[in-house]
Structure 1
Amino acid sequence: MIIIHEYPLSIVEHHGFRKFVGGLQPLFKVSSRNTIKSDILKIYDFEIQKTLKMLEKNTSRIAITTDMWTTNNQKKGFMAVTAHFVDQNWNMKSRIMRFIYVPCPHTSVVLADVLYDCLLDWNLDRKLSTLTVGILLDRLPMSSLMMGGRLFHMRCCAHVLNLIVQDGLAVLGDGIERIRDSVAFWIASPKRDQKFEEAARQLRISSTKKLALDCKTQWNSTYLMISVAIVYKDVFQRLHQRESQYKNLPTQRDWEFAKEICDRLQLFYEVTVMFSGSKYPTTNVFFSIDM
């Protein structure tokens, strides 16, 4: 339960939790925080060994994806390394092999060292098919790679699309910020959210979509935020007349521009969804149809 829901280890010391468990089974003795920590590490070691055996038995090559993640509060960098492969029953499988702290500076050399150590730990250095970064190519034996490593470096298509679209969204500029601020204002509290929904009902807007704030670095979330906000543009206008604290109303030009941008981004969004699939192989999309 603690692993699945990412509860803090201290939950076993909480009075309410102990009372709840006692109500279910008075004879059950709740473990201490240290015992829980030890049990979780045992589960972790067991899962590692199970995954190692599965990868050893698997005869197909392994594709690796990796990305960096930075914490908001401590600004520490972590690397996630994921293995993708097709098992003997032709089922697509993915396993997170490592989620590890990477000390600064996050240069290509540092990232390559961390990634290479991970591959050695999992005995994957001679079973690779493709990698989404190319900084390891000079460390791996060319004889173990397909076509001598010519297909080893796979550009992340979703990332390339992200760079293209981010440049396009820059055209909206302040317009996006006004829409973003408007969405943030009306979802900031349950009271405002309820007021917004009531205004939508009064204007007979039948959509059941909820406003959602985007993540600035993920254009697809910006696309979804704008596409929903456009549906409620009349609601924003009406509430601007009734709510004195709501000041950053998008202009009519902002809405027209946003609609035009959304129409163009729909295709990019659909392609990104296709590239980001996890239940089916996507490497084949890299090759042209006539190959």
Structure 2
Amino acid sequence: MRQQVLTNNLMNKDRPPLLTSYSFDHGTARKELAHAIIMHEYPLSIVDHVGFKRYSNALQPLFKVPCRNTMKSEIFKIYEHHKGKTLSLVVSNASRLAITTDMWTSSNQKKGFMAVTAHFIDNSWTLQSRILRFIYVPCPHTKEVLCEQLLNCLMDWNIDRKISSITVDNCSTNDAMIDLLWDKLDNTSLMLGGDLFHMRCCAHILNLIVKDGLDVIKVGIEKIRDSVAYWTASQKREEKFEETVRQLNVGSTKKLGLDCATRWNSTFLMLQTALLYKEVFIRLSKRDAQYQSLPSEREWGFAKDVCQKLKFFFKVTELFSGTKYPTTNQCFPNICEIRLELRDWLQSENQVIREMAKRMVEKFDKYWSVVHGVVGVSAVLDPRYKINVLEFYFKLLFPTTYKEEVEKVRALCYKLLKEYQCPSSMMEGIGDSSSQLSSIEDESLSNKIKLVLMNLFLLYLLGECTSGYATIYDDAESGDSCVTREVNGIFFTFLVVLTLCGCKNMGIIVVNGLWIWMQEQGYYFGEWSLDVDART
């Protein structure tokens, strides 16, 4: 049946309605219903509701509402379609994948589910994250059960040989699961033989550190917790509390919320909100004789002090938990700032704060050795920080041994450089004084130059190149100099090579004695010789 209809563009409401021809398609309508169920988390039973059937019939009498099994099949078709698209993206992508996994517990059924997410940089240098699996895991959640589920997911997506690391929460079961998984995978495909395979979640470690500190201060904030529990215990009390808020003209609309024992950030949010309503609690204590848990001025002051200190951890946790941007490069400076902050807390005049800081420092030092290596590398690879950030913070944290700490991270950087270095494309060491040349003719010129530049850039970040002169020769045979400039590091060379990648002429770039000779057939690189004939 074809008819003329006036349609609105749902994606762009600014566009005027269009008069277009329309032909009802039952398959399209059924697919859109499946999308609606997925998008809004409607139950499959919606297709059995009499009201929904009547509504659908009023909109389009020709539409026959499908049964549950049909909708279930339609939803699986959509899933398989998107899985195929994601699989093609993952397979065609040249980079490795970082895997994160965690166990979730449903609030109503108390069942355990495993979520597995892959993170990678696509060919357009965009950060991508894809949920690969969300599956029910029957009890008991032992290392064998968790390992089997995770391994099945990796095999199903054919990514077991493309993994860079697996990030999990810090607990003994996860540690045992990772060890078991490591034995089942091909270790030769893992980075550095699996040294970076097991990553502990920085946000979870931060959570453990703060929880240890809160165990010390829980007595000091007990009355605030009791007050919040009292005024949120019933609808009538909540209404009375809100009425008093309006009477006192408190400029806040935040609702009181009781904290959760396993989530320290909920304790911070509870204290932060309760402090806003301090005068409200005081007024209510005079109006309600049953309310006997009003905190004293000393307890309010202590809560304010604790809240100010937890605010720093709360902001760092939010930063670590970001999903739209890389987070590892932010970990190192923030982790170091946390340790410095704790050092200041140890000098607090409040004995409880000092004891809290002491417990947190003990937990921090326990996990420092398992996180600082790879996050240090990430900081080095951030052009805003480079290796200078290691020297800066390590001097503050380890005044006598900071050089050894810096060298540990530097050594790890070189190991990673060697790991990614293509054996056929370069010499055994990019800073080697050997005069041997290596050539690649199988790949495109642009890819070859990128490969060299990434290694040069890493050396720059590690402090190998600081300043000097860059000379570009656009004719390798005559040796005529096109331009010579004083440069700071390798950045100028990076721009020059990107420019030359677009032209077909031969060219030579020299930076601090390291030269690259480009031509249509390939490129060579080595150390610059003072002999002019070496250029030809």
Task: State the TM-score, normalized to the length of structure 2.
Answer: 0.50
Which one of the candidate residues 351, 364, 375 is aligned to 1:287? 375
Q: Structure 2 CA distance, aligned partners of 1:53 and 1:165?
A: 42
**Match for residue 57 of structure 1?**
92
Listed as ranges, the matches of 1:188-199 within 5 Å are: 192-199=237-244
Which digits, 9 at most, give the CA deviation of each residue in 1:134-177, with x for residues without a partner?
A: 33222222221222221222111111111111111112324545
| CA apart distance, 1:244 | 5.1
Percent identity (aligned)? 61
Q: Structure 1 CA distance, aligned partners of 2:73 and 2:46?
A: 15
Pair 1:106–1:206, CA change in 2 (3 A): same
Q: Structure 2 CA distance, aligned partners of 1:107 and 1:46?
A: 33
> Greater CA deviation, 211-220 or 114-123?
211-220
Task: State the TM-score, normalized to the length of structure 1.
Answer: 0.89
Q: Structure 2 CA distance, aligned partners of 1:267 and 1:99?
A: 33
Confirm or deny that 1:168 pairs with 2:213: yes
Superposed CA RMSD in Å reads: 2.3
**Match for residue 321 of structure 2?**
276
> Greater CA deviation, 154-163 or 13-22?
13-22
What stretches of structure 1 of length at least 5 have no aligned partner? none
Q: Structure 2 CA distance, aligned partners of 1:25 and 1:260?
A: 63
**Match for residue 43 of structure 2?**
8
* Structure 2 residue identity aligned to 1:258: A
Which one of the candidate residues 213, 227, 249 is aligned to 1:204? 249
* Structure 2 residue identity aligned to 1:195: K
**Match for residue 304 of structure 2?**
259
* Structure 2 residue identity aligned to 1:128: I
**Match for residue 116 of structure 1?**
151
SS of the residue corresponding to residue 199 of structure 2 reads coil
Confirm or deny that 1:20 pairs with 2:55: yes
Asked which structure has the greater RCO (Cα within 8 Å, sep 6+), the reply is 1
What stretches of structure 2 of length at least 5 have no aligned partner? 1-35, 169-177, 332-373, 380-386, 388-409, 411-536
**Match for residue 427 of structure 2?**
none
| CA apart distance, 1:283 | 2.9
Which digits, 9 at most, give the CA deviation of each residue in 1:69-88, with x for residues without a partner?
A: 22344432221111111111
Q: Structure 2 CA distance, aligned partners of 1:28 and 1:57?
A: 40
Q: Structure 2 CA distance, aligned partners of 1:247 and 1:38?
A: 58
Confirm or deny that 1:153 pairs with 2:153: no
Q: Structure 1 CA distance, aligned partners of 2:292 and 2:42?
A: 39
> Greater CA deviation, 57-66 or 192-201?
192-201
> Greater CA deviation, 189-198 or 95-104?
189-198
SS of the residue corresponding to residue 66 of structure 2 reads coil
Pair 1:186–1:119, CA change in 2 (3 A): same
Q: Structure 1 CA distance, aligned partners of 2:236 and 2:56?
A: 35
**Match for residue 136 of structure 2?**
101
> Greater CA deviation, 173-182 or 4-13?
173-182
Q: Is the 8 A contact 1:78 1:101 kept in 2?
A: yes
Larger Rg: 2
Confirm or deny that 1:238 pairs with 2:283: yes
**Match for residue 32 of structure 1?**
67
Question: How many residue pairs are counted as aligned between the two chains?
Answer: 291
> Greater CA deviation, 272-281 or 30-39?
30-39
| CA apart distance, 1:257 | 2.5
Q: Structure 1 CA distance, aligned partners of 2:52 and 2:73?
A: 20
